[in-house]
Amino acid sequence: MCKTNSPLFQMIDLLVKTSKVVAFLSLVIGTILFLMQISGPFSLLWILGLIFMIIAISINIILMVALIISTFSHPEMKKELLEALSLILLNIPVAFLYFCILIYIFS
């Protein structure tokens, strides 16, 4: 069991907190871009949305890999790590739904 003041615990705790913040920000920024695109089709938003997706997917994949590795290497913190991982994974169906709606509206 990790001590709460150990550097390892602090590093894992930072990974969990960072992952939760990134998952939340990805959802919020993606939703804002989606709502802006629906309110009025702007070609610049497609480019901005694509850039955002590339950056968000890259960061989320890096965090997912770190969380998965940490889950196996630090089973005593499995619950916290899997909670953070699940929040990141929840963004996938939301992004897919937004994409399908935009394709339907603009096709």
pLDDT digits 0-9 by tens, 59-92 = 999 999 999 999 999 999 999 999 999 999 999 9
Per-residue pLDDT tens for 12-46?
Answer: 999 999 999 999 999 999 999 999 998 887 778 88
Instruction: List C-alpha distances in Å: 14 to 23, 31, 97, 107.
Output: 14, 26, 30, 43
Measured on CA atoms in the order 25, 31, 35, 37, is the torsion positive or negative? positive
Interatomic CA distance for residues 58 and 63, integer angstroms: 9
| In the chain, domain spans | 28-106
CA distances, 103 to each of 1, 37, 40 (Å): 49, 11, 14
Contact criterion met (CB below 8 Å) for 6 and 71: no
